[in-house]
């Protein structure tokens, strides 16, 4: 089973405005999508969670394996005319949003390419739809809005003007963030930071009163 539609990525033109990006609906084929969603790991709350703190298994693990594969890397390299050979990768998993999430930002300078893969079966909410913005101040001045559903893929090159954000939403929203970064110590630092946050959430959940 193929978990990523790499051929469509290769055939989709690179958008240049407001910054270099590509958006592909249904990047995870329908049957694979259903299986991946069924194996989506349990996360202990909002925020980004590193794989070391989660039960990564089954079809979800196979999708992650393809994200790390040479075929996907080469397709991204060709699309963005960038050499990612030897560049470290990292990924985190998100399962929920808080109302405070979605503030406008460009991503850190240590990130070269950002990949977002959305694994929600439907989305009827105004909030939580990532917008690619023309500036760093106006959430309504956008070129594209990404529905976080059905294996939609967003890939963009991080730059000083890669502004993005979304309107507030609180609740379940499943996504994977995958990055190529500048050096290995970035991975160690970021994964350590997220690992501590996830462990704190697990402890809070353990002591929380039953509903």
User: Which of residues 30 and 198 earns the better pLDDT score?
Assistant: 30
What confidence tens digit (pLDDT) does each residue in 152-208 have? Answer: 999 999 999 999 999 999 999 999 999 999 998 877 777 777 665 666 565 656 555
Task: Provide the pairing of β-strand 130-133 with 153-157.
Answer: unpaired
- % of the chain residues with pLDDT over 70: 91
- 197 membership: H or E segment, kind and range: helix 184-207
Q: What is the CA radius of gyration of the chain?
A: 17
Domains and CATH numbers, the chain: 6-199 (2.60.120.620)
Distance of alpha carbon 130 from its chain centroid, rounded?
11
Phi-psi region of 150 (alpha: psi -120 to 50; beta: other; left: phi over 0): left
Token pair of 84, please?
Answer: 């990612």
Task: Write down the pLDDT at residue 65.
Answer: 98
| Secondary structure letter of residue 118 according to DSSP | E
Most confident of 17-21, 44-48, 198-202: 17-21
d(CA 108, CA 86): 19
């Amino acid at each position: 089973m193929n978990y990523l539609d790499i051929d469509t990525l290769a055939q989709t033109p690179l958008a240049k405005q407001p910054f270099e990006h590509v958006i592909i609906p249904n990047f995870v084929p329908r049957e694979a999508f259903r299986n991946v969603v069924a194996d989506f790991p349990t996360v202990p709350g909002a925020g980004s969670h590193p794989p070391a703190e989660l039960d990564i298994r089954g079809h979800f693990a196979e999708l992650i394996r393809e994200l790390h594969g040479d075929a996907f890397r080469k397709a991204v390299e060709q699309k963005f005319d960038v050499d990612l050979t030897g560049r470290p990768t990292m990924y985190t998993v998100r399962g929920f949003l808080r109302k405070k999430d979605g503030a406008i930002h460009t991503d850190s300078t240590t990130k070269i390419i950002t990949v977002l893969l959305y694994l929600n079966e439907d989305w009827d909410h105004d909030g939580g739809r990532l917008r690619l913005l023309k500036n760093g101040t106006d959430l309504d001045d956008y070129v594209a809005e990404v529905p976080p559903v059905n294996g939609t893929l967003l890939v963009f090159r991080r730059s000083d003007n890669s502004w993005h954000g979304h309107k507030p939403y609180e609740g379940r929203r499943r996504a994977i963030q995958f990055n190529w970064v500048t050096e290995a110590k970035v991975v160690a630092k970021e994964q350590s930071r997220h690992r501590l946050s996830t462990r704190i959430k697990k402890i809070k959940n353990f002591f929380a009163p039953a509903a």
